[in-house]
Amino acid sequence: MGWPSTNFYDSTQPYLLPIYFVVSLGCYGLLMVGIGLMNFPTCPQEALLLQKDIVEAKEYLQQKGVDVSSS
């Protein structure tokens, strides 16, 4: 009975480093998107302007003969 092997370096590890890098980068990206969504500001004035633009666009399209009714 001898000591357990302490050789942590394996010949397959250098090939796994790019995979670890891509996975880490993906996790970081998802984290940043999640934080951005949690801190996304609400803009009630802009929401009202957007609703007004939608109504104007529907009226314009109806004048041109496009059916924009939502069913």
Q: Is the pLDDT of residue 69 over 90?
A: no
Q: What is the pLDDT of residues 2-34, one digit of tens each?
A: 666 666 666 666 778 889 999 999 999 999 999
Q: Is the pLDDT of residue 60 over 60?
A: yes
Q: Answer yes or no: are the C-beta atoms of 62 and 68 closer than 8 Å.
A: yes
Mean pLDDT within 33-46: 90
Which residues are CB-neighbours of 62 under 8 A, at least 6 positions away? 68
pLDDT of residue 29: 98
DSSP string covering 34-64: HHHHHTPPP-HHHHHHHHHHHHHHHHHHHHT
Mean pLDDT within 46-67: 94
Taking the C-alpha atoms of residue 58 and residue 70, their distance in angstroms, rounded to an integer, is: 11
Q: Where are the domains of the chain?
A: 13-63
pLDDT of residue 70: 72
The distance in angstroms from the start CA to the end CA of the chain is: 77
